[in-house]
Amino acid sequence: MSSTSSSTSSSPDPRWPDELYALLREHGVTQFAYVPDAGHTTLIDRSLADPDVNSIALTTEEEGVAMLAGADLGGARGVLLMQSSGAGNCINILSMIKAGRFPFLTLISMRGDFGEGNPWQMPMGQALRPVLAAMGVICIDVDSPEAVVPSVEGALTMTFKAGNAVAVLLTQKLIGAKAF
């Protein structure tokens, strides 16, 4: 995976990725869908190593939205791990999430936001919040390591108890901006 360095680096060995995996498993998440992204390395690798979950690499992020709706029909909980650029690939399938009132949880590693140096990332990074809000997805920003677990715990309740579509945004203040 690519290295990250920036003026806003997180602590050298963050514990929140492993704590986050444990939290998701405690809440009964058994399907992990993703297009691999550096920001989700630990969650992806932990799900691949876990014999009790399905760890599914997608060819495009919209597949994960559809897959998790199918999981819900079958009584299973899942999470979509993606980069902000991939959220743009999800929009029309989010229609089914909204009209169908499917619970839906996504963890999004941000690009095109604070400290971004790749111009290609800027439009979707800046459009992400308004576009997801327009599709009925509640966005929760996470800027610091100690806020990750509490924010995702809140998101899990909002999703699987209250039936919402929720996106937790792991911002570039948390995960750092990729060096170019």
Outline where the chain has alpha helix (H). 16-26, 41-49, 61-73, 84-87, 91-100, 122-134, 145-160, 172-175
Residue 33, strand partner residues? 56, 80
161 binds other proteins (CB under 8 A): no
Query: Of 122 and 138, which CB lies nearer to other proteins in the complex structure?
Result: 138
Q: For other proteins, which residue of 96, 133, 134, 162 counts as binding (CB under 8 A)? A: 96
- Is residue 49 near other proteins by the rule CB under 8 A? no
Q: Which of 73, 134, 162, 179 binds other proteins (CB under 8 A)?
A: 73
Contact between 80 and 59 (Cβ < 8 Å): no
Joined together, the tokens standing for residue 172 give 């570039």
Binding flag, residue 177, other proteins (CB under 8 A) = no
- Binding residues for other proteins, rule: CB under 8 A, are 30-31, 54, 56-60, 62-76, 78, 92-93, 95-96, 99-102
